[in-house]
């Protein structure tokens, strides 16, 4: 069973952040520049929220406008669901499915150490399944371990 720490070993520990007062335009530019779907909103060392592309789209659909000077704290999600490096990828998939979210900040002893996305988790789960299939095929055909 793979853990969040396995993803972070390969992916790295970079987390792209903005402050709560960052204008939406600047946050959108950062999303594009870093080619990511979400930014963690931090106030010093504290997680204040998370801002995703979905949040911006939903605000535009609701209000009918996109005020680019709006500070991100006005549309970020404040209740951020986190995981630890020791949690399984099955735990992550369950959380993401139940809560309908795509990004999980990773905290270790209260300190931010990374962020995993649904894409990261699915990639690892598929790779694990492919290895299991290969091993089973080898066992069935008698070529296992050759």
CA distance 40 to 138: 44
Q: Is residue 55 part of a domain?
A: yes
Percent above pLDDT 90 for the chain: 77
What is the CB-side half-sphere exposure of residue 14 using CA atoms within 13 A?
A: 8
What's the total number of domains in the chain?
1
pLDDT tens per residue across span 125-135: 777 676 776 76
Average pLDDT over residues 110-124: 91
Residue 26 lies in a domain: yes
Predicted confidence at residue 146, as pLDDT, reads 57
Whether residue 146 lies inside any domain: the answer is no
pLDDT at 18 over 60: yes
Is 101 among the domain residues?
A: yes
pLDDT value at 145 more than 70: no
Q: Where in the sequence is the domain holding 91, given as residue range(s)?
A: 4-141
Instruction: Please report whether residue 120 resides in a domain.
Output: yes
What CATH number is associated with residue 48? 3.10.580.10
In a domain, 102, yes or no: yes
Residue 90 vs residue 127, higher pLDDT: 90
């Amino acid at each position: 069973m793979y853990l969040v720490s396995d993803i972070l070993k390969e992916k790295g520990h970079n987390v792209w952040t903005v402050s709560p007062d960052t204008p939406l335009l600047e946050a959108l530019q950062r999303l594009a520049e870093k080619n990511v779907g979400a930014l963690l909103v931090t106030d010093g060392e504290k997680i204040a929220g998370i801002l995703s592309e979905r949040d911006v789209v939903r605000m535009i659909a609701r209000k009918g406008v996109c005020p680019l000077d709006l500070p991100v704290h006005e549309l970020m999600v404040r209740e951020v669901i986190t995981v630890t490096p020791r949690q399984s990828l099955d735990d992550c998939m369950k959380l993401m499915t139940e809560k309908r979210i795509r990004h999980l900040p990773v905290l270790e002893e209260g300190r931010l150490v990374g962020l995993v996305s649904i894409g990261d988790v699915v990639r690892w789960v598929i790779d694990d399944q492919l290895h299991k299939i290969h091993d089973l095929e080898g066992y069935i055909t008698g070529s296992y371990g050759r």
